[in-house]
Amino acid sequence: MSTTSTTTTVDAVLAGPARRERSAPAPIPTGRLLGVELRKMFDTRSGFWLMASIVILSVVATGAVIIFAPREELTFNAFASAVGIPMSVILPMIAVLAVTSEWSQRTGLTTFTLVPSRGRVIGAKAALTVAIAATSMVVALGVGALGNLLGTAIAGVDPTWDISATQFAQIVLANVIGMMGGFTLGVLLRSSAAGIIGYFVWSFVLPGVSGALAGVQQWWADHAAWFDLNTAYYPLFDEKMTGEMWAQLGVTSVLWLVLPLTAGLWALLRSEVK
């Protein structure tokens, strides 16, 4: 008995202290992840000034409509459109920076260490992009309503409420498409400078090229909406969409958003973060 006890004691000493089972840390909740990603979109200097420029330009646009628009054109649609224009131009850049900042500001290593599942991080960024696009149009609608009331009161005319629920839904969808275009460029290029330049080329250069082609080539004028996303989604702002228009929007969205985003996600989920 004594020999067995001594052997057991020696083995226990050599084995060292018993190891405790360490429980795996709980995953970061989705709500917290969304909150962090939302804050990261706006608490940088670039994000702050982009949001500040939206507010400033919205006030300037509302004042310009009140001052320069004829009395008969002081309508809800005029004010909401004037406020929505700077939002539709600037907000996609926030979507670009939401993705590219992880690489350009070298926060990706920290982010993906804390949340190893890159898909969750990118999914949170995409969800916030869509939410911000929809929320911004609601804000534009509210500011437009205030501008309409103020402008018509100053001009001494009755306010005109000429935006239907269907038209507003189309405008929200158009803004979501614009935001997702910026998000897609961010995922595909993962560079802030390249992403913003690509966004301006997509938003301002390509429509001009498409318009020039339509002016000299009738075939392109008749079929551009099947290949050019800008041509396909512009009618969302001020036209009643037909079945063919919806089909054109679906085809061009796949060509310009779904396929590039899929390729960008494939590369992003496998690229080395430095």
- Interval 143-160: pLDDT, tens: 888 888 888 888 888 888
Q: How far is CA 105 from the centre of its chain?
A: 19
Asked if pLDDT for residue 185 goes beyond 90, the answer is yes
pLDDT at 254: 95
Q: 3-state SS string over the chain?
A: CHHHHHHHHHHHHHHCCCCCCCCCCCCCCHHHHHHHHHHHHHCCHHHHHHHHHHHHHHHHHHHHHHHHCCHHHCEHHHHHHHHHHHHHHHHHHHHHHHHHHHHHCCCHHHHHHHCCCHHHHHHHHHHHHHHHHHHHHHHHHHHHHHHHHHHHHHHCCCCECCCCHHHHHHHHHHHHHHHHHHHHHHHHHCCHHHHHHHHHHHHHHHHHHHHHHHHHCHHHHHHHHHCCHHHHHCHHHHCCCCHHHHHHHHHHHHHHHHHHHHHHHHHHCCCCCC
Asked if pLDDT for residue 76 goes beyond 90, the answer is no
Average pLDDT, the chain: 83
pLDDT at 228: 92
Domain segments of the chain as ranges: 28-268
Q: In which band, very low, low, confident or very high, does the pLDDT at 227 lie, cut at 50, 70 and 90? A: very high
pLDDT at 10: 47
Look at 19-28, 60-69, 141-150, 232-241 and tell me which has the smallest mean pLDDT.
Answer: 19-28
| Residue 147 · residue 79 · CB < 8 Å | yes
Q: In which band, very low, low, confident or very high, does the pLDDT at 1 lie, cut at 50, 70 and 90? A: very low
pLDDT 10s digits, 214-224: 889 899 989 99
**Can you tell me which residue has the tokens 């005319």?**
157
